[in-house]
Chain A
Amino acid sequence: MMQEHLSLINRTRTILEKYATSRDSKDEAVMAEIIHLLDRAKTPTQQLDAFLHDLARTVRKLFEFSEVCVGIRDTSDGMFRYKVCLGYRVGAQEARKRIVYSPDEMTDDMLYPAVQIGRRTRFYLSENQAFKETEREAFNRPSMLGKERPSDDVMVEGDYIDFFMLDPDREIIGWLELSNPKDGKWPDKRTIRWLELFASIAGAIVYEREWSGRRR
């Protein structure tokens, strides 16, 4: 009887020990990456630029978008600029780094028409030409802009999704921009919700380091 009970307790221990090692769902993999990202962000040596790069790399690895950008609002002039561009050809990357958005432009629906798909998320469609003529060079394949969409659920050149980072007053202080998924399809809803969480976490870090007066 005693032996039987000991064996049962050992089975409980085995179940618990497996918690540390196995990871099989996509959600669990995302959560693990968020934990690692925050762990690295906490170290005193990781400055904001390094954190933004880390964020872009983590998102790119997890969600399989070929193009990932991160931009933030500059504390010196209040304008928005790209800080990280992954997956772009050199010319497009340089063109992006030259772009400066005013706070009004960030939410200008005439200039950048978008479909609101979350409290902090906008989906920009190629058909709506959500870019200025001068911004054509900021795309990897400018010649593909305006080409017909082969089917509704396919993402084409000129489609992109922005996830905004907000301050405590819900003002935009940065954004995460994704385009060109590796499978060519619209991301699923769960991916969008996870990416909103990444933007939210990044917003908290950007706010603390840039806007709260406690700059590192």
Chain B
Amino acid sequence: MPPKSPKVAALESRIRETYSLDAKDEQENAIEAINNLIVFCMNPRTRLNAMLQETAKLIHRFFEFKCMAIAMKDPEDGLFKYVFTMGYSPSVSAAYKEIKYTAMDVFDDKSYPSIKISKIARFYMAEDKPYREGEEKCYNRPSLLTQLKRQNPDDLLEADYMNFFMYGSMGEPIGWLECSDTRSGKLPKRETVRWIEMISAIISSIIVERGLDKK
């Protein structure tokens, strides 16, 4: 191979500098983390629980939510059960693990009134009491459920939460990511919602491609 001309060498150097991996902003870091998550999740040795755990960790690390819970449909009995929680006290995590929902429960607007904020995401407002009797123990501070009042329109309250639904190949729900309690105490930014929506779509796609929703 003939030696490179100084002009070409300078051009290559400029390309390296322009696309350098060293100086990344937060979004670029998030994209790279999602790339790594994909590689991890497509590995045949990676089990579903590990996939979900890494997904929750990524969302917790890059976005505003402190608490997360992930529910999946159990192919054995068709019921939705929480398989992973993060940011909750041990007793709250245990309470989550006891809950079982049918598909009808999940989208029961009377018990769980919500605002549709995208094709796959719903926001449950504290004022609508989006929980059934007995589910108060699924909150870190159940005593605050009815006491706290929204002071500003962009406040996020103890009982506010969001669900990002994951769907199977026939459009049937296979699970959801539940996010609550932002670090700022404010509603998440709309862009944050889009990021988590995209992550849910990627993860559910890998789950479906790997047939993990049927095992």
Residue ranges of A at the interface with B (Cβ–Cβ < 8 Å): 5, 8-9, 11-20, 22-23, 25, 27-28, 31-32, 34-35, 38-39, 41-44, 110, 113, 115, 117-119, 121, 123, 125, 127-128, 149, 152, 166-168, 170, 186, 189-190, 192-194, 196-197, 200-201, 203-205, 207-209, 212, 214
Contacts and interface: CB of A to CB of B under 8 A. Distances in A.
B134 interface: no
A13 B114 CA distance: 10
Contact of B202 (A13, A201, A212): A201
B19 A123 contact: yes
Interface in B157-214: 167-170, 187, 190-191, 193-195, 197-198, 201-202, 204-206, 208-211
Contact of A193 (B32, B44, B168): B32
B44 A11 contact: no
A110 B116 contact: no
A34 B38 CA distance: 14
B123 A113 contact: no
B43 A168 contact: yes
Contacts of B120: 35
B44 to A, nearest CB: 6
B49 interface: no
Contacts of B104: none
Contacts of B105: none
Nearest to B5: A127
Interface stretch (B9-17, B57-65, B135-143): B9-17
A127 B3 CA distance: 12
Contact of A190 (B27, B115, B193): B27
Contacts of A123: 15, 19
14 contacts: A5-B150, A9-B127, A14-B153, A15-B153, A15-B154, A17-B115, A19-B123, A20-B116, A20-B117, A35-B197, A42-B204, A44-B170, A119-B35, A168-B44
Interface in B11-34: 11-12, 14-16, 18-19, 21, 27-28, 31-32, 34
Interface residues of B, number: 63
A16 B115 contact: yes
Interface centre among A16, A25, A200, A204 (most CB of B within 10 A): A16
A42 B44 contact: no
Nearest to B43: A168
A204 B168 CA distance: 16
Contacts of B15: 115, 117, 123, 125, 186
A42 B174 CA distance: 13
B47 interface: no
Nearest to A116: B16
Interface centre among B119, B127, B152, B190 (most CB of A within 10 A): B190
A116 B52 CA distance: 32
Contacts of A125: 8, 11-12, 15
Contacts of A19: 117-118, 121, 123, 190, 193
Interface of A is mostly: helix
B14 A209 contact: no
A200 B209 contact: no
A193 B194 contact: no
A127 B8 contact: yes
B187 A12 contact: yes
B16 A117 contact: yes
B86 interface: no
A44 B169 contact: yes
Contacts of B149: 5
Contacts of A44: 169-170
B34 A197 contact: yes
B186 to A, nearest CB: 10
Nearest to A25: B191
Nearest to B27: A27
Contacts of A121: 19
A203 B125 CA distance: 38
Contacts of B119: 35
A98 to B, nearest CB: 26
